[in-house]
């Protein structure tokens, strides 16, 4: 999480790619001109980021292909950047696996986890590092500690006792960020993803300082749907608040998205409210009579992780549809011929929408970062939108909006239960980041959370820390919390929508 919220050269390249892909789609014509875009994104004759400008442009080429939803090209044979682009210039296309990709020649081949003695070592007489090493892996050579990596078991005891903090734990940033331990090395030392373990959370993507890890996109296809005259309705996740800058109020966001060609915008907080009610009723019905605890279902990385690593606990995850799907089905009911585009912070939502059971509900998934590329391609500026153009968003409750931050889902569900059964004690535990989520489920399996409502969030900080966000996590959390307090109604039970996927009937 150390790089989150810092606008770096990696961030700059990534966003330029999204902008150029969006511009390419909007302008139409001969798409073979994609060959010229690397020269626009990386101009000049001298490398700025790497040893070779040719390498820089080759990496941009692969990023352009992935942003369009195309696969990486094989390294050992020639293929044009434009290969497959005409076939992708369509209004309907789901993600072809794998969603998360490593551009091999962009990877730095960072060393795998090991402990390293730095120049800060003072060669002290006590040498506690040597004394505590259980495998005798540390020797004193010319007065300095030296670790024999062939003997080291990476327990970290030496690091913890060094009085000078002279021993560092060296880790690949992508592997450290992966809560599924899905990243290893190929025969050349380059990072490699074990897709049997990967849950597409995208944390490796935003933590690689070399920009070597990239997810596929649907910007190209979404814009073609808009250009073909289809009615495209955007569903905006609650984490949107503040993502597009201080001038981007919720009302101006709706107006800005209409300038992009969207028919209308719906706030996914209304689906979150429906999810809260459904999960609350599930909990009251099932715990503890039929199952020891219940886990929330809205984060796809969390739920897929649980099903992969804890299949025995999978039945205890709520069967409630996620806010994205609930909102999409409600909108589809009113607009059966419309295309639905979910706009959010999350890479894993792309994976969720690709499931056959959900494909009919959600046609496109874009991140906030990809949507920003569309704004830049069409030169849409929030400061130019007048108050007369502003359009109010659908009103989710405070609890529905709070889904965006860690702990918000469990709070919303618990608030519903308290309203329905004031005498009932609600015990809640939550975890953020897949590594912590795994610990939570291990304790639950051991019986430590019997009777509890458990919330897991794949990203540290919750949805506001998703791989497709634009702002620092702390700033986004504060803005979402402010937006929560501003809601006219706070409890999900007070939503003007109901679980039958329509408006509540007025009371007689």
pLDDT in tens, 343-390: 999 999 998 998 877 777 999 999 999 999 999 999 999 999 988 888
Q: What is the mean pLDDT of the chain?
A: 93
For residues 154 and 59, membership in a common domain is answered with no
**Which pLDDT value is given to residue 18?**
98
- Residues 205 and 69 occupy one common structural domain: yes
Three-state DSSP at 445 gives helix
Identify the domain boundary among 159, 189, 220: 220
Any bridge partners for residue 138, and if so which? 147
> In the chain, pLDDT over 90 holds for what percent of residues?
88
Q: Residue 337 belongs to what domain range?
A: 221-497
* Mode of pairing for the β-strands spanning 339-344 and 294-295: unpaired
Calculate mean pLDDT across residues 208-218. Answer: 97
How many domains does the chain divide into? 3
Q: Would you say residue 144 lies in a domain?
A: yes
Report d(CA 504, CA 285) in Å as an integer.
23
Q: What's the average model confidence in pLDDT over 435-462? A: 97
436-442 long-range contacts (CB < 8 A, ≥24 apart) are 436/179, 436/460, 437/179, 437/302, 437/305, 437/306, 438/179, 438/305, 438/309, 441/295, 441/306, 441/309, 441/310, 441/313
Q: Are 455 and 191 in contact, with CB atoms under 8 Å apart? A: no
Task: Label residue 297 by pLDDT band (50, 70, 90).
Answer: confident
Q: Give the residue from 155, 170, 185 where a domain finishes.
A: 170
Tokens, residue 446: 């051991």
pLDDT recorded at residue 221: 97
For residues 18-52, one letter each, b for 16 or more C-beta atoms within 10 angstroms of the residue's C-beta and e for the rest, the string is: bbbbbbbbbeeeebeebeebbeebbeeeeeebbee
Query: 257 CB contacts (<8 Å, ≥6 apart)?
Result: 234, 265, 371
- Higher-scoring residue by pLDDT: 208, 250: 208
Q: Cα separation of 455 and 437, whole Å?
A: 9
User: In angstroms, rounded to a whole number, what is the distance separating the alpha carbons of residues 205 and 102?
Assistant: 9
pLDDT at 499 (0 to 100): 59
**Angle at which helices 219-227 and 53-68 pack, to 10 degrees?**
50
pLDDT at 434: 97
Query: Do 425 and 375 fall into the same domain?
Result: yes
129 and 186 assigned to the same domain: no
What does the pLDDT read at residue 229?
96
Poorest-pLDDT segment among 30-39, 131-140, 230-239, 245-254? 245-254
Q: Which helix (H) or strand (E) holds 155?
A: none
Instruction: State residue 312's pLDDT score.
Output: 96
Residue 52, pLDDT > 50, answer yes
User: What CATH number corresponds to the domain at position 183?
Assistant: 3.30.70.20
Q: Is residue 242 part of a domain?
A: yes
Shared-domain flag, residues 60 and 159: no
pLDDT at 500: 57
Residue 15 in any domain: the answer is yes
pLDDT of res. 506: 42
Assess if residue 147 is contained within a domain: yes
Contacts of 377 (CB under 8 A, 6+ apart): 19, 20, 22, 23, 26
What value does the mean pLDDT take over residues 283-301? 95
Evaluate whether residue 300 is within a structural domain. yes
| Whether residues 149 and 70 fall in one domain | no
Residues 472, 411: one domain?
yes
Residues 229 and 147 occupy one common structural domain: no
247 and 396 co-located in one domain: yes
Identify the sign of the CA torsion 192, 193, 196, 197. positive
pLDDT at residue 3 above 80? no
Handedness of CA 87, 93, 96, 101 (dihedral sign): positive
Mean pLDDT of 209-229: 97
Please, which pLDDT band fits residue 395 given cuts at 50, 70 and 90?
Answer: confident
506 located within any domain: no
Q: Is the peptide bond before 333 cis (omega within 30 degrees of 0)?
A: no
> What is the rounded average pLDDT of the residues 113-140?
96
Q: Which of 162, 190, 220 is the last residue of a domain?
A: 220
Q: C-alpha 492: how far from its chain's center?
A: 25
Condensed to tens digits (0 to 9), the pLDDT of residues 407-424 reads 999 999 999 999 999 999
Do residues 216 and 359 share a domain? no
Evaluate whether residue 354 is within a structural domain.
yes
Q: What is the pLDDT of residue 381?
A: 95
> What is the structure's pLDDT at 286?
96
Say what the pLDDT of residue 1 is. 58
The pLDDT score that the predictor gives to residue 359 is 75
Question: Per the domain annotation, does 508 fall within a domain?
Answer: no
Q: Does 215 share its domain with 119?
A: no
Q: Is 43 helix (H, G, I), strand (E, B) or coil?
A: coil
Same domain assignment for residues 120 and 144: yes
Q: Which has the closest alpha carbon to 192: 114, 111, 107, 115? A: 107
- Give the whole-angstrom CA distance, residue 141 versus residue 120: 15
**pTM (2 d.p.):** 0.93
Q: In the predicted model, is pLDDT for residue 74 greater than 80?
A: yes
């Amino acid at each position: 999480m150390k790089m989150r919220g810092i606008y770096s050269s990696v961030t700059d390249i990534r966003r330029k790619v999204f902008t150029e892909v969006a511009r390419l789609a909007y302008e139409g014509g001969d798409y073979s001109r994609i060959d010229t875009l690397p020269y626009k994104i990386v101009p000049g004759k001298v490398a700025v980021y790497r040893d070779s400008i040719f390498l820089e442009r080759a990496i941009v080429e692969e990023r352009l292909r992935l942003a369009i939803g195309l696969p990486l090209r094989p390294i050992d044979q020639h293929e044009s950047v434009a290969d497959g682009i005409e076939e992708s210039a369509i209004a309907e296309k789901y993600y072809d696996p794998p969603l998360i990709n490593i551009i091999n020649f962009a990877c730095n081949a960072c060393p795998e986890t090991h402990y390293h003695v730095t120049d800060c070592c003072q060669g002290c007489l006590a040498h506690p590092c040597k004394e505590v090493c259980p495998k005798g892996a540390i020797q004193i050579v010319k007065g300095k500690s030296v670790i024999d990596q062939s003997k080291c078991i990476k327990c970290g005891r030496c690091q913890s006792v060094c009085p000078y903090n002279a021993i560092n734990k060296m880790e690949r940033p992508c592997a450290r960020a992966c809560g599924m331990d899905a990243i290893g090395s190929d025969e050349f030392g380059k990072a490699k993803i074990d897709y049997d373990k990967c849950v597409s959370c995208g944390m490796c993507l935003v933590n690689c300082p070399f920009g070597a890890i990239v997810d596929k996109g649907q910007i190209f296809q979404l814009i073609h749907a808009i250009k073909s005259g289809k009615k495209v309705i955007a569903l905006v996740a609650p984490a949107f608040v503040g993502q597009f800058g201080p001038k981007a109020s919720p009302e101006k966001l709706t107006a800005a998205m209409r300038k992009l060609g969207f028919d209308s915008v719906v706030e996914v907080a209304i689906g979150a409210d429906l999810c809260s009610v459904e999960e609350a009723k599930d909990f009251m019905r099932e715990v503890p009579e039929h199952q020891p605890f219940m886990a929330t279902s809205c984060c796809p990385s969390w739920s897929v992780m649980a099903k992969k690593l804890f299949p025995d606990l999978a039945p205890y995850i709520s069967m409630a549809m996620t806010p994205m799907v609930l909102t999409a089905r409600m909108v589809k009911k009113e607009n059966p011929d419309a295309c639905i585009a979910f706009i959010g912070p999350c890479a894993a939502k792309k994976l969720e929408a690709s499931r056959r059971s959900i494909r009919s509900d959600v046609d496109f998934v874009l991140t906030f970062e990809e949507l920003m590329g569309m704004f830049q391609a069409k030169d849409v500026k929030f400061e130019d939108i007048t108050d007369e153009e502003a359009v109010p968003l659908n009103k989710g409750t405070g609890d529905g909006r709070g889904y965006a931050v860690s702990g918000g889902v469990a709070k919303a569900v618990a608030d519903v239960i308290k309203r329905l059964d004031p005498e009932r004690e609600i015990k809640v535990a939550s975890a953020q980041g897949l590594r912590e989520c795994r610990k939570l489920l291990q304790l639950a399996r051991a019986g430590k959370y019997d009777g509890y409502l458990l919330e897991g969030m794949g990203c540290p900080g919750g949805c506001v820390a998703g791989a497709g966000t634009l702002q620092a996590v702390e700033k986004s959390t504060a803005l979402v919390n402010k937006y929560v307090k501003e809601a006219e109604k706070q409890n999900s039970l007070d939503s003007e929508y109901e679980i039958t996927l329509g408006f509540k009937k007025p009371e007689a």
